[in-house]
Structure 1
Amino acid sequence: MPKIQSASWIKPYPELILDGDRIFCKACSKIVSCSKKFQVDQHAKTPSHISKANRIKSGPVQSTLKQAVEVSSNQHHGQTKFNEDLCRMFLATNIPLHKMTNPQVKAFLQKYCKFNTPDESTLRKNVVGKVYASVIEEI
C-alpha cells in the first residue's frame, strides 16, 4: 500500500495518523486495517469511534508528562513559599512552632488557606534554617 494513498485516505479524519505504512486511530488507540480506503471509512463510521472522537474534541485531553510535571512543580513551589512565609510569621511574632499542632490553629489555617498546613517538624527541618539565613543576611 503506497503511503500517498493512505495519507489522502485519512485527511478527513484528524484523529487518524499515518505511522509508517500503518494507520493509527488516536481516539480508539488501535491500528486500523487499511488495505483499502473503504476500511478506513468503515472504521471512522463505527459508533464506538464516533463517540471516542467526539470525547476527544469536546472533553479535556489528558495532559502530557511535561505538563503534569510543570503543574506539580508550580504547586510544590507555592506550598514551599507558603511554608516559608508561615514559619517566618510564627518566628517573627514569637509563636512557638509546636502551636501548629493546636486543633484550633490547624482548623483555621485549613479553612482559610488553599495550601496544606505543614507539621511543625516539617517547618523545623526544612524551613527554619532558610528563614534564619535570610534574617541574618538582612541584618
Structure 2
Amino acid sequence: MTSGLRKAHKYIWLLLIIVVPVIMVFSIKDLDIFSSENNTASQLMGSKKVSLNSFENDIVKTSVFESHIEIILKSTLKNSSSIVYDMDEKGNKSNVIGQLTTAGIYNFNINSLPKGIIIYDDLKHVEITKFSFKWD
C-alpha cells in the first residue's frame, strides 16, 4: 500500500465510523418500536383481565384485551425483522403495532380493537402469519 492509499484508507474508515451509526438510527426510527412499550408479565399480574378474543397456532399465541394485545412467541423466528401489523377490513396490513425479536411474551398497547393481526417480515417482504378476530 502506498502512502496515498494508506491515507485514503484511514479517512474512509473514519468516515464509516460516523456514517454507519447515523444510517442505523435513521433506519430504525420509523419502525415505531419505541413508542409501544413492552409491558412485562409482572406489571400485568395485579389486574386479572379476561381476554376478549384469542388465537393460537404453532408460531404464536395471541390474546386481545381492551387496552392491549398479548403475543406469546413460542420460538424465535427465522426472520429477524418481524413486525406486527393491525389488519384492516380487506385483510391488508394497516398500522404497526410492534416488533417481535426473540421467543417470549410481548404486550402492545392498542387504541381500538383490531380486525386481525399480521406478522410480516419487512426486509424480505414475507408474510409470516395472519389471523383475524371475530367480534360479536
TM-score when normalising by structure 1:
0.29
**Higher helix content, 1 or 2:** 1
- Judging by fraction of residues, say which structure has more strand: 2
